Amino acid sequence: MTMRMKRLGKTDLQISAVGLGAWAMGGPWLFGWGPQDDKDSLEAIFEAMDCGINWIDTAAIYGHGRSEWIIGHALREMKRKPLIFTKCGLCWDEKSERIPRLKRQSIMQECEDSLHRLGVEAIDLYQIHYNQPPEDIEEAWATMADLKQQGKVRHIGLSNYAVEQMQQLEKIETVETLQPPYSMLRRDFEQGLADYCKKNDIGVIIYSPMQRGLLTGKFTAEKVAALPPGDSRRTNPDFTEPRFSVTLKLIEKLKPLAARHGRTTGQLAVAWTLANPAVSAAIVGARRKGQIAETAQAANWQLTESELNEIEKYLQEWQKEIEK
């Protein structure tokens, strides 16, 4: 499959419009999706490359290193290697509790640990995972700039940062990329962030375009109830009432639009995010073979203005129902 490629902001990276997200490959952890078979993860990674995807997004916190480790295992078996994007700033203790940490010494060590798990000489894009604690973001960003100068990372970016924080950090070093959440159900990105990134040529790779799988149209109340105890979606507001039933009604409205093109609602959800001119690419997760082969096809689907207007009408109706 030949996939649409886009330049990532002001970097020299040409990336596929859809990338592989390795969140769930970390298996059980605080925000995981339950048990995960490493063989399934490897097959999903290889399939993503066969689909024309040329980058993988992960983070040290995903499974407390397990996601990075399995990607490193896959890389050793590949002749044509993808770009690797990972993150720092979220650590864990002996009780597996998440600890935001942005001190210089921590980030330097996290980078070394990620390089070791991935088995690479340099990370293509290294991102600060979260903006906490806020008083340390300048120290963290200065450290990221040093890592880039040392050649341990090729490009640096931010994840889950506000416009004001990016402006603050720009005084230290250029912000090359941003990774925000963005989907039909979560549109905070449109409130200032999108315009700022577009104006400043900041590459944007959005995450959770299918809202943790909800917008695939494959979830029912029974399927949610059957999720394993370690799956964080069991208690997520999107998957609980009354919001869950309202969203299922939205998905039923979207299905005919997708079907007109022989597409799925999951593909429609991803294509919708890519229609935003500020978005460079979308991260699409996969846990086993077959999943990414389906959703990756969204990369080449460009929605018309009429279709976007139709979707907007449904989204406005959904919003009114949510706010009742």
Q: What percent of the chain has pLDDT over 90?
A: 82
- CATH code, domain with 292: 3.20.20.100
Cis before 229 (ω within 30): no
Q: What is the residue range of 105's domain?
A: 5-212+275-296
pTM exceeds 0.85 for this model:
yes
CA 225, 230, 231, 237: dihedral to nearest 10 degrees?
80
- Mean pLDDT of all residues in 123-143: 97
Please say if 161 is a catalytic residue: no
- The answer to whether residue 262 is domain-embedded is no
pLDDT tens for 289-315 read 999 999 999 999 999 999 999 999 999
Q: Are strands 98-100 and 90-92 parallel, antiparallel or unpaired?
A: antiparallel
Q: Assess whether pLDDT exceeds 70 at residue 139.
A: yes
- The answer to whether residue 222 is domain-embedded is no
- Mean pLDDT of all residues in 12-30: 89
Least confident of 10-14, 166-170, 244-248, 302-306: 244-248
5 has which bridge partners?
A: 16
Q: Are strands 90-92 and 83-88 parallel, antiparallel or unpaired?
A: unpaired
- Mean pLDDT of all residues in 116-137: 97
Task: State the chain's mean pLDDT as an integer.
Answer: 94
Residue type, 58: T
Task: Give the pLDDT confidence score for residue 85 in this predicted structure.
Answer: 98
Q: How confident is the model at residue 31 (pLDDT cuts 50, 70, 90)?
A: low
Q: Assess whether pLDDT exceeds 90 at residue 95.
A: no
- The answer to whether residue 93 is domain-embedded is yes
Q: Assess whether pLDDT exceeds 90 at residue 227.
A: no
Task: Give the pLDDT confidence score for residue 162 in this predicted structure.
Answer: 97
CA distance linking residue 302 with residue 311, whole number of Å: 14
- The answer to whether residue 240 is domain-embedded is no
Q: Assess whether pLDDT exceeds 70 at residue 321.
A: yes
- The residue annotated as part of the active site, out of 62, 126, 161, 207, is 62
pLDDT tens for 253-293 read 999 999 999 999 999 999 999 999 999 999 999 989 999 99
CA distance linking residue 88 with residue 103, whole number of Å: 11
Q: Assess whether pLDDT exceeds 90 at residue 202.
A: yes
Task: Give the pLDDT confidence score for residue 81 in this predicted structure.
Answer: 95
- The answer to whether residue 109 is domain-embedded is yes
- Mean pLDDT of all residues in 94-106: 90
Q: How confident is the model at residue 27 (pLDDT cuts 50, 70, 90)?
A: confident
Residue with tokens 């400043």: 200
- The answer to whether residue 24 is domain-embedded is yes
Task: Give the pLDDT confidence score for residue 32 in this predicted structure.
Answer: 61
Q: Assess whether pLDDT exceeds 90 at residue 324.
A: no
Rounded to whole angstroms, the maximal C-alpha distance in the chain is 54
Q: Total domain count for the chain? A: 1
CA distance linking residue 5 with residue 11, whole number of Å: 14
- Mean pLDDT of all residues in 25-48: 85
Q: Assess whether pLDDT exceeds 70 at residue 74.
A: yes
- The answer to whether residue 252 is domain-embedded is no
- Mean pLDDT of all residues in 240-256: 93
SS (H, E, C) the chain: CCCCEEECCCCCCEEECEEEECCHHHCCCCCCECCCCHHHHHHHHHHHHHCCCCEEECCCCCCCCHHHHHHHHHHHCCCCCCEEEEEECEEECCCCCEEECCCHHHHHHHHHHHHHHHCCCCECEEEECCCCCHHHHHHHHHHHHHHHHHCCECCEEEECCCHHHHHHHHCCCCCCEEECECECCECHHHCCHHHHHHHCCCEEEEECCCCCCHHHCCCCHHHHHCCCCCEHHHHCHHHCCCHHHHHHHHHHHHHHHHHCCCCCHHHHHHHHHHCCCCCCEEEEECCCCCHHHHHHHHHHCCCCHHHHHHHHHHHHHHHHHHHC
- The answer to whether residue 30 is domain-embedded is yes
Q: Assess whether pLDDT exceeds 70 at residue 49.
A: yes
Q: Assess whether pLDDT exceeds 90 at residue 221.
A: no
